[in-house]
Structure formats: C-alpha cells, structure tokens
Structure 1
Amino acid sequence: MIIEFDAEVFIWDAPEKATFYLTAVPPELSEEIREIPRMPRGFGSVRVRATIGGSTFQTSVFPDSKSGSYVLPLKKAVRDAESLADGNPVHVRLEVLDG
C-alpha cells in the first residue's frame, strides 16, 4: 500500500526530556493503514518506507492515543537534508511494508 499526504511538522517533547519531530498521517489514511491485516508489533507500530523531497528512509509509524492517527518520526538526517522545522509543511509518500 502506498499513500501520499500533506501535513505539518510538529514537535513532541517526551517526559524524559527527549524531543521528537513528527508529522501526522491524516485520520482517513490512518484508518486505511489500521485495516491492513498484519502481525502485531510493539506499541502498535507499522513499518514504512517514507519519502520526503529527495530523502527516502525506513522507519515505523506509531498510533497517537489522543488523535487516533498514526505519526511519522522525522529523523535528524532527513530534517537537515530537507530543511524541515517545526510548523513547516511537508509532502509525504509512505509505502507500508507490514501486511
């Protein structure tokens, strides 16, 4: 399954003082991902290959308990290569690898 969407970069500060840069998969696309039959993985994660601009990387999306949407962590190397910061718009292409 391949999905594409536009979203914004946002920061989540973890309780242990770590800072993560994320973007959220829209709710309707999150629901499509949730419906894919697959083996359960830790924290409800789903393995993906993401492309943002000229950067392609493998990671996992994780369900956000507040919104119900999946969130995509943005690695520092990708943020640097694509000049991404908090509040920036981003176009994401996700290939779901689980399922």
Structure 2
Amino acid sequence: MTGDETFTLTATVWLWRSAGKERPMAWHFLTIDGQTSAEIRYAALGRTGGFGSIPVEVRIGTTCWRTSIFPHRDSGGYILPLKASVRKREGIAAGDEVSLSLAI
C-alpha cells in the first residue's frame, strides 16, 4: 500500500437498497467509525474531495484497489463502498465481518 498513513480494522458489510420501484438498486458498504474514523479525519486534513470524500487505497485479502470513503452522518464516521468485483474475488456478502487495511 502506498499511502502516508495506513489503518487496519474489521467491519461488518451492510447493504443499502434504493426505494426505486422500477429498478431497485443495492450497494454494499463497510462503516468506519469510532477512534479509527477520528484518526482518519485528522490524517486527511486538507486532502478531502467532493462531498467530504477521502481518496484511499484499500486491501481486503489479496485484493487491492483505489477508491474513496465518504462521511456517514448516522455513525459520525465514514463509509467504504465495496465493488462487486472485490466482493466476488474475496467471497464477501452482506453480514460478513471483513478485515481490511486502508491507506490515505
């Protein structure tokens, strides 16, 4: 991983579904909260993008990719979207606990 600061954590995958009747959509996320989110907030000062996003590099198992985390009003932390390709490669489903490394 190539970021200035790396954080290691475990979080539970949760599913968000749109309310659309024609074509409902679903997205998988991990919530980063508590002390880890406070440390990330401090480490990312001056490096946020649109909507308060923070560019990150993530590793779950053998899969590494670049994405962004986004502020999460409900938890006061951040949410990390999980791409379908990552979930398939690592065998991840909603409700699973996942260990990951996240570099800013």
Q: Structure 2 length as normaliser, TM-score?
A: 0.85
Query: For residue 26 of structure 1, what is the aligned residue in structure 2?
Result: 33
1:68-92 alpha-carbon deviations (Å, 9 max, x no partner):
1111110110000000001011001
Question: Structure 1 residue 43: deviation in Å?
Answer: 1.1
Root-mean-square deviation (CA), in Å?
1.3
Identity of aligned residues (%): 33
CA contact under 8 A between 2:33 and 2:75: conserved in structure 1? no
2:17 matches 1:13: yes
Question: Structure 1 residue 15: deviation in Å?
Answer: 4.4
Query: For residue 7 of structure 2, what is the aligned residue in structure 1?
Result: 3
Which residue of 71, 89, 95 corresponds with 1:63? 71
Q: 1:82 to 1:40 in 2, by over 3 A?
A: closer
CA contact under 8 A between 2:13 and 2:97: conserved in structure 1? yes
Q: Structure 1 length as normaliser, TM-score?
A: 0.89
* Runs of 5+ consecutive residues of structure 2 not aligned to the other structure: none
Moved over 6 A (4+): none
Which has more radius of gyration? 2
CA contact under 8 A between 2:48 and 2:55: conserved in structure 1? no
